[in-house]
């Protein structure tokens, strides 16, 4: 079944560069509804758990360091076919390959500092939402 919710994180570099407003505006303009959002910060240990699926990748340590280096903004978003539709809006993982009009093309600086995360499946979206939000924080 195709779900209508996805999970996103505005990453530390984009928060630091003051792009929260422009990025959430692009998300809302594409027809997503914001069901939950907050400004928070992960410890290195939190990031290691969140990115456990990448634990064997060469970039795992740098990824955890970067994602715990400053405030981030996790969000829960809804729209029909949310996961796929949101992946289209954010663009390719490497901003150099992301199409014009995508969030990573506009705000991504490198493959690490690629501005935003979007879940890649309904199952991962559900797990990632649970990692950051309790039931009473979701509307």
Active-site residues, by number, are 117
**Binding segment toward ligand CMP, per CB under 6 A, in 13-21, 40-48, 70-78, 112-120:** 112-120
Comparing CB distances to ligand CMP, the nearer of 46 and 112 is 112
The burial of 43, by beta-carbon neighbours within 10 Å (0-12 exposed, 13-18 middle, 19 or more buried), is given as exposed
Q: How far apart are CA 42 and CA 130, in angstroms?
A: 14
Cα angle 29, 15, 129 (rounded to 5 degrees) comes to 70
Beta carbon of residue 51, minimum distance to ligand CMP (angstroms, whole number): 6
Binding-residue total with ligand CMP (CB under 6 A): 7
Considering only CA atoms, which of 123, 118, 139 is closest in space to residue 38? 139
Residue of the chain from 41, 71, 92, 112 that contacts ligand CMP (CB under 6 A): 112
Residue 117 within binding range of ligand CMP, rule CB under 6 A: yes
In the region spanning residues 9 to 48, those forming contacts with ligand CMP, defined by CB under 6 A, are: none
Considering only CA atoms, which of 45, 47, 41, 38 is closest in space to residue 20? 38
Residue 104 within binding range of ligand CMP, rule CB under 6 A: no
User: Which spans of this chain sit near ligand CMP (rule: CB under 6 A)?
Assistant: 59, 63, 93, 111-112, 114, 117
């Amino acid at each position: 079944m195709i779900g209508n919710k996805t999970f996103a994180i505005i990453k530390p570099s984009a928060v630091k560069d003051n792009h929260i407003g422009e990025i959430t505006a692009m998300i809302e303009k594409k027809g997503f509804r914001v069901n939950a959002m907050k400004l928070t910060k992960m410890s290195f240990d939190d990031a290691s758990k969140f990115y456990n699926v990448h634990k064997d990748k060469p970039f795992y340590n740098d990824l955890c360091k970067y994602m715990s280096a400053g405030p981030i903004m996790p969000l829960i978003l809804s729209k029909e076919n949310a996961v796929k539709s949101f992946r289209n809006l954010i663009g390719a993982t490497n901003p150099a390959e992301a199409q014009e009009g995508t969030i990573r093309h506009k705000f991504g600086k490198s493959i690490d500092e690629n501005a935003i995360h979007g879940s890649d499946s309904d199952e991962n979206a559900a797990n990632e939402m649970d990692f950051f939000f309790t039931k009473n924080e979701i509307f």
